[in-house]
Amino acid sequence: MNTLNIQQIDDYDSLLMKTVAKQRSNWAIDDWVLGIHSIYGDRNTPKSPMEMWLHVANDTSQLSEEVRKGNLEVVVQDAAKIFGRVCVLVGKYLYQKEFPENDPIKTLLRNRDAGDDFIGGRESYGKWILEKYPMRCGTCWETVCVCSAYRPIMENRDEYIELYDEVTKGREQKIMEIKKSSIMLMVSQVRLRKNFFLCHWTN
């Protein structure tokens, strides 16, 4: 394979060991990404993101068909499968060590520099979800989503900029406020974790 040598994640092995040592029932979303990548990563190394995303799109359309038919048991299985496929794709772009020359993403995601992240730190699936939904809808920015109540405005928000701001009751202002409060929350969580570890180490 024509590869480009890129080694960005130098602590991959220790990350994986920490994940494997955890109870599976305590795995966070990022543990699943790492765990599933450790199984399927090698096999998916030569695959393009388009090929992998096609599986997600295909399974998602099957899932919506099963929802329409009301086959809820199949829906649960399909949803788990889609989650696994997305984890594989994310894991590829967070941990894979070499990429074919023509891969369009390579290390862009793991070195993503959005500049205005809420929570900072290493790029991960869990981080992206929290960035997009910090306990609020990513579009209307309400804690209880109101998008469907204003569907024409939400779907054409580039056209109705003033109406969009009106129905979301000052979305940009809220984003600024939440950014400030999430920095405070982050500081308090770091303190909590530090206290937790200190307790365990000293006992």
Selected range binding Zn ion among 26-34, 118-126, 135-143, 176-184, rule: CB under 5 A = 135-143
What are 3's strand-pairing partners? 100
CB-neighbour burial class of residue 182 (10 A; exposed 0-12, middle 13-18, buried 19+):
middle
For residue 53, the minimal CB distance to Zn ion (Å) is: 25
**140 touches Zn ion by CB under 5 A:** yes
Single-letter amino acid, residue 4? L
In the block, which residue shows the tokens 């500049």? Answer: 115
What residues contact 101, with CB distance under 8 A and at least 6 apart?
A: 2, 3, 4
Q: Which is nearer to Zn ion, 130 or 137 (CB)?
A: 137
**139 touches Zn ion by CB under 5 A:** yes
Q: Which is nearer to Zn ion, 72 or 161 (CB)?
A: 161
Q: Which is nearer to Zn ion, 66 or 165 (CB)?
A: 165
Q: Which is nearer to Zn ion, 145 or 163 (CB)?
A: 145
Residue with the CB atom nearest Zn ion in the bound state: 137
**136 touches Zn ion by CB under 5 A:** no
- Pair type for strands 3-5 and 98-100: antiparallel
Q: Can you tell me which of 29, 75, 109, 137 binds Zn ion, judged by CB under 5 A? A: 137
Tell me, by CB under 5 A, how many residues bind Zn ion. 5
Count the helices and strands in the chain (H runs, E runs).
Answer: 8, 2
What residues contact 89, with CB distance under 8 A and at least 6 apart?
A: 49, 52, 53, 56
Q: Can you tell me which of 15, 75, 145, 178 binds Zn ion, judged by CB under 5 A? A: 145
Query: Footprint of Zn ion on this chain (CB under 5 A)?
Result: 137, 139-140, 145, 147
